[in-house]
Chain A
């Protein structure tokens, strides 16, 4: 079983929709939870970063972490065609030296 499992997708939504992307994990040592966005033929770029449990909001994006359930989510409000990309969750512990990634969810937002 993988340490990080991500809802596989793909997801296709109309412009303006609310999108929910989700990951579960098994390693209780993870303390840092990240969401990366990857456009086609590019490397991933950090989108959101959360430490421990709680919510973090940045514009149209909200990241949620529930450590008791080992479950994290990324919500995108008022989705735009420019949000079309692959979204990867990633997790690390304090002295990780590496992040562990989910397999990614490909999102398409149709105008």
Chain B
């Protein structure tokens, strides 16, 4: 595709419900990243995919958070039993191969609000 696409753009949910956030990276990009940005804060790394594997999932804040990537393309971030502190913008980015000197291309994010 032309850019990184994320859906939904906004999600409002009740505390305790599960949510799924979707990311469609740039075609051909093997590396995919999830970051979280709380209000007025920087980007907090969550997980990195190289192809369908996740060599670095060190940023996932708890076992309520999980992510998968299929076909080396679309990724889904799942948050189970959502809590109010999960409210944030969830950003997805992709890059060509995942090397440190590569430009990250970001989507516009999913704004998650947990009531």
Contact = CB atoms under 8 A, between A and B. Distances in A.
Interface of A: 6, 31-32, 34, 36, 41-46, 49, 51, 88, 90, 92-104
Given A98-B56, A99-B100, A41 B43 contact: no
B107 A43 contact: yes
Contacts of B104: 36, 44, 46, 99
A97 B98 contact: yes
B109 interface: yes
A90 B93 CA distance: 14
A32 to B, nearest CB: 5
Which residue, of B56, B99, B100, has the highest number of chain A Cβ atoms within 10 A?
B100
B42 A6 contact: yes
Given A43-B93, A43-B107, A44-B106, A94 B100 contact: yes
16 contacts: A32-B100, A42-B108, A42-B109, A43-B109, A44-B106, A92-B100, A94-B100, A95-B100, A97-B48, A97-B100, A100-B45, A101-B35, A101-B42, A101-B45, A102-B42, A104-B41
Contacts of B103: 34, 46, 49
B101 A32 contact: yes
A23 to B, nearest CB: 10
B26 to A, nearest CB: 12
Contacts of A93: 100
Interface residues on B, range: 20 to 34
A99 B94 CA distance: 12
B42 A95 contact: no
A104 B30 CA distance: 27
Nearest to B111: A41
A5 to B, nearest CB: 10
Nearest to B103: A46
Contacts of B45: 98, 100-101
Which 10 pairs from chain A and chain B are nearest by CB? A43-B106, A96-B100, A92-B100, A103-B42, A101-B43, A101-B42, A97-B48, A46-B103, A32-B101, A98-B48
